[in-house]
């Protein structure tokens, strides 16, 4: 289906796990958005923090993904638009007694909307995170309120992750 969508110049966003994830990556989806557990299963090791998630994005790129977002639940989300671009991480929003049901789907919808609007990297991650968080406080999964998304998007803190190679280059230049 991913290959067929690309024939018709359609963007493909993938949220799946296990063998389906591995097989779908071969078709080069435009975005893959596993959660922490799905990404850990793919990698074969646990994801303890955002730095580990950022390192793992390269494995998804190597497998065929064009863009990678890894949702870390209460620890936020990591996103990298391309294999050569900087990665970004957002801090989680404080939402009490959240059911995670549908939050990944809502975040994926945020990425779709951001792509359609042509948002910057920071704005894209901010919107996706706000959509997932708004799902948490919704009266039922998938019943996201647009006002909550707008309000929460203003509260999402996003920071750029400088790749280790860049850190080394900066250190060499400083000497």
Catalytic residue numbers, as ranges: 105
Residue for token pair 């018709």: 8
For residue 118, give every residue at least 6 positions away whose Cβ sits within 8 Å of its Cβ, in sequence order, or none: none
Q: What is the CA radius of gyration of the chain?
A: 16
Q: Are 38 and 17 in contact (CB under 8 A)?
A: yes
Sign of CA dihedral 135, 115, 72, 40: positive
| Pairing relationship of beta strands 158-161 and 77-80 according to DSSP bridges | unpaired
Return d(Cα 66, Cα 139) in angstroms, integer: 34
């Amino acid at each position: 289906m991913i290959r067929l969508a690309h024939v018709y110049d359609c963007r493909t966003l993938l949220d799946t796990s296990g063998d389906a994830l591995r097989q779908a990556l071969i078709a080069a989806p435009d975005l893959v958005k596993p959660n922490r557990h799905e990404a850990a299963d793919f990698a074969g090791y646990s994801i303890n923090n955002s730095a580990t998630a950022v390192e793992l994005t390269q494995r998804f790129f190597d497998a065929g993904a064009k863009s990678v977002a890894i949702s870390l639940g209460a620890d936020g989300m990591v996103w990298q638009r391309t294999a050569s671009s900087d990665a970004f991480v957002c801090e989680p929003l404080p939402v009490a007694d959240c059911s995670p049901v549908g939050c990944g789907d809502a975040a994926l919808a945020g990425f779709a909307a951001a792509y359609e609007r042509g948002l910057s990297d920071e704005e894209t991650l901010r919107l996706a995170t706000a959509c997932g968080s708004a799902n948490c406080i919704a009266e039922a999964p998938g019943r996201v309120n647009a006002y909550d998304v707008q309000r929460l998007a203003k509260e999402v803190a996003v920071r750029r992750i400088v790749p280790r190679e860049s850190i080394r280059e900066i250190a060499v230049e400083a000497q």
